[in-house]
Structure 1
Amino acid sequence: MRFRHPDGTPVHLAYCSNVHQAEDLEGVIGQLSRYAEPVRERLGVDRLGIGLWLARPAVSELAADADALARLKAELTARGLETVTLNAFPYEGFHREVVKKDVYLPDWADEARLAYTLDCARVLAALLPDDARRGSVSTLPLGWRTPWPRERSDAARRALDRLAIGLAGLEAWTGRPVRVGFEPEPGCVVETTEQAVREFGGLDHEHLGICLDACHLAVQFEEPDEALGRLAEGGLPVVKLQASCAVEAPDPADPDARTALRELAERRFLHQTRTATHGSVKGVDDLPEALAGALPDDTGPWRVHFHAPLHTDPEPPLRTTAGQLTTVLDGLLGGPTAVCDHIEVETYTWSVLPRPPADLAEGIAAELAWARDRLTALGLKEDH
């Protein structure tokens, strides 16, 4: 869906297809008819944005075969879909039985990550609607924090320089600008906006910036206004917002809360868990560790990296950080100028919810309707 900010900026709202299990081109095309088109129909809109996740095998095929690329673009157009953003954080295998820390591989010290990201940018430049101002690609914040010795850090820095050069060359060649946003995430080399400014402040900000994930921001107990101010002061553009909610246990010592949390402690994805006390954030790498006693439960709420549906609450007494997401949207789009123009709803955890929905398309449509309502409340007009 497209919106128009009061300053005239077109703002794109999409949902991320990493919720769907498809790693080759046939699978990607199949999900468009099975899920994305029904989502559009449920919303009653003529055009729906989809933030594609294209695993390495799919990107390789598209980058090497112009006919395959033309086929995908035609399928999008025929179904009333458009793509201005790609999620290039997972490389492949995102729906394996166990993913956990493998989602951070290859990291930015590995040549494969640079090659994959540039291929994603090339594919996106070809998929962009003719009237889109630019494209965006989100990626991991360098890598998992351990091990991250100096030589890997130096290799990643060289890769980012080459990434900026490659994106500039792509723009000169195609006339289509594509920016890459690094996504701070708990447990990674870059967890917070403060670390993002330190690591990425000296980069080419014409082509590189931040993908701000509202769930990650909440898990790290960052205040949205302070975080956005920090990025602005550091000159880091918010290339893309992932509209997402974390799960919060207001009283993690409550037996009912612990019962509900245990239902979320599934084995596929990593669910980093944090608490904040006396101005300090403490955390563990996964929810089972917290439940086993590695995280204090008497100092304040726990926040869990579990992307919860935007429009509904989890099992009581748990709740989500939807209020914080609303504040993030206000900070980015509630002022006189639009700070960000790509918004991607990224709830990839539907299949591992304690009670997965019978109709996934209906759930995704409800999330997008929730986001649409927040954007229009900020004064944006839906652009039909």
Structure 2
Amino acid sequence: MRLPHHGRPVHLSYCTNVHPAEDLPGIIGQLDTYAVPVRERLGADVLGLGLWLAAPVAAALADDGEARRLLRRELDARGLEVVTLNGFPYEAFQAPVVKHAVYRPDWTSVARLDYTLDLARILVDLLPDDAERGSVSTLPLAWREPWRAAQRDAARHMLDRLAGGLAEIAWQTGRVVRVAFEPEPGCVAETTTQAVGMLAGADTDRLGVCLDLAHLACAWEDPLVSVRELAAAGIPVVKVQVSAALEVGDPVAARPVLERYAEPRFLHQTRSSAGHACDDLDEALAENPPGPWRIHFHVPLHAPPEPPLTATTPLLREALAVVECDHFDVETYTWDVLPAGQRPTSSAELADGIAGELAWARDQLTGVTA
């Protein structure tokens, strides 16, 4: 969807990494199962998708112009458009256990570089003709351990090669694609300050930051301070992931409810307001640091979690009021691991939930005035 925000047109989409398909027929099939029903529920002429393409299908598409044109035709025929791709998960993001595997390969690896440039090559053929540019979000270099001088130097070399590859794509096609590094708890760049350090000296015409607002909340950062720090460093906010994390004031009293969110597929990094850091929710429940906690569990934007838990939607609203960006992507990939009773039990229920989130995000974005 295209919306006015801060006096400029922006793109709003939902991220398809919530769906498990990892080949082209499966991806096209999920358009009919989910994306078209979501568009129809919203009454939108065109629905934006933050498309996720696993590495094997991305490599195949990048090497096959006719397959890219087929995907573009299938999108157009359904009233769907793509200006952004999620290049953080490499593959198997909806496997039974993901955890730390989502950070591999990292930005010390040629495989990560090749995957990201494949996505950029695909995106230039998917972009609407009138889109100013495209974006690809990616991990903030790597998980924090191990991270020594050798890894740092290798990643810097890869970022230089990435910027050069993006410049070559722009020269060949006339279309601009930027890559957005997404700070996340536990990674080399978790905070805004670390993201500034990560991109110091980088080509900021091609590279910038993806602000995931659940991650920002878990880092206990003030959105206005973060936005100003990035602006002062000359680092663009290339993409915003519109997401909310779990919050709990008294973890002891809420323990029976919190235990329902401790699940085996994804990491749920937990941070206390006092700075205590745990790499997963079950670890936090075992260590039991004083609250309040914020938990990296993306929860539906429009539906509050089970009391006494709350969501970080107040901070999300604060962030939307101050950030300037043209790509906003709703990224709730955790629908299938929500506690029973909150989890969709059919494709129609999942489409209902995604449509509800997008309607909420649309209302927040259009309610912000310049």
Scaled to the shorter chain, the TM-score interval is over 0.9
1:367 aligns with 2:357: yes
Tell me the number of residue pairs that the alignment of Structure 1 and Structure 2 aligns.
365
262-271 or 146-155, larger mean C-alpha shift: 146-155
- Provide the secondary structure at the position in 1 that maps to 2:211: strand
Q: Where does residue 241 of structure 1 map in the other structure? A: 240
Aligned to 2:214: 215
Instruction: State yes or no: 1:30 paired with 2:29.
Output: yes
Amino acid at match of 1:360: L
Q: CA deviation at 1:351?
A: 0.2
Task: Identify the residue that residue 16 of structure 2 maps to in structure 1.
Answer: 17
Greater shift, 71-80 or 196-205, is seen at 196-205
1:302 aligns with 2:278: no
**Equivalences for residues 118-267 of structure 1 within 5 A:** 118-254=117-253, 257-267=254-264
Percent sequence identity is: 60
TM norm structure 2: 0.97
Unaligned residue ranges in structure 1 (runs of 5+) = 333-338
What residue is the counterpart of 1:316 in the other structure?
Answer: 307
CA drift of 1:57 comes to 1.3
Provide the C-alpha distance between the structure 2 equivalents of 1:230 and 1:54, rounded to a whole number of angstroms.
32
Shift of 1:6: 5.2
Residue 63 of structure 1 corresponds to 62
Whole-angstrom distance in 2 between the partners of 1:350 and 1:285: 21
TM superposition shift of 1:240 = 0.2
For 1:286, the equivalent position in structure 2 comes to 280
Alignment partners' CA distance in 2, 1:211 and 1:149: 24
Cα drift, residue 201 of structure 1? 2.6
Report the Cα offset of residue 4 of structure 1: 2.7
Contact 2:210 2:239 in 1 (8 A): yes
Q: CA deviation at 1:296?
A: 0.9
Once the two structures are overlaid, the 10-residue window that deviates more, 198-207 or 88-97, is 198-207
- Does residue 4 of the first structure (1) align with residue 4 of the second (2)? yes
Deviation at 1:250, TM superposition (A): 1.2
Aligned counterpart in structure 2 of residue 340 of structure 1, from 316, 322, 325: 325
What residue in structure 2 maps to residue 86 of structure 1? Answer: 85
Partners of 2:265 and 2:304 lie apart in 1 by 22
Q: 1:163 to 1:363 in 2, by over 3 A?
A: same
**Amino acid of the structure 2 residue aligned with 1:368:** L
Contact 1:201–1:235 at 8 Å: present in 2 too? no
Distance change >3 Å, CA 66–CA 263, structure 1 → 2: same
- Aligned residue for 1:357? 344
Q: 1:316 deviation in Å?
A: 0.4
Letter in 2 for 1:343: F
SS in 2 for 1:84: strand
1:174-223 Cα distance to aligned partner (Å, 9 max, x none) = 01000000000000000000101111132111100000000000001001
SS in 1 for 2:204: coil
Q: In 1, distance between residues paired with 2:226 and 2:256? A: 33
How many Å separate the matches in 2 of 1:39 and 1:58? 24
- Is the 2:6–2:368 Cα contact (8 Å) retained in structure 1? no
User: Could you say which residue in structure 2 is the equivalent of 1:336?
Assistant: none
SS across alignment from 2:271: strand
Residue aligned with 2:10, SS: strand
CA contact (8 A) 1:313 1:320 kept: yes
**How far is the alpha carbon of 1:58 from its aligned partner?**
1.2
**How much has 1:67 moved relative to structure 2?**
1.4
Would the aligned equivalents of 2:99 and 2:266 in 1 still touch at CA under 8 Å? yes
CA separation in 1, counterparts of 2:23 and 2:157?
Answer: 30
Separation in structure 1 between the aligned mates of residue 305 and residue 363 of structure 2, nearest angstrom? 21
Corresponding residue SS for 2:14: strand
Amino acid at match of 1:274: R
* Paired letter, 1:140: L
Q: Deviations over 1:305-360 (max 9, x none)?
A: 0000000111100000001000110011xxxxxx2000000000000001312310
Distance 2:269 2:97 in 1: 15
Cα pair 1:25 1:61 within 8 Å, conserved: no
Provide Cα deviations, 1:53-101, integer angstroms capped at 9, x if missing partner. Answer: 0001110111111111111101100000000000000000101110000
Unaligned runs of 5+ in 2: none
Q: C-alpha distance in 2, partners of 1:6/1:219? A: 26
Distance 2:366 2:165 in 1: 37
Equivalent-residue separation in structure 1 for 2:119 and 2:173 (angstroms): 14
1:363 aligned partner, one-letter code: G
Note the C-alpha offset of 1:10: 2.0
Letter in 2 for 1:357: P
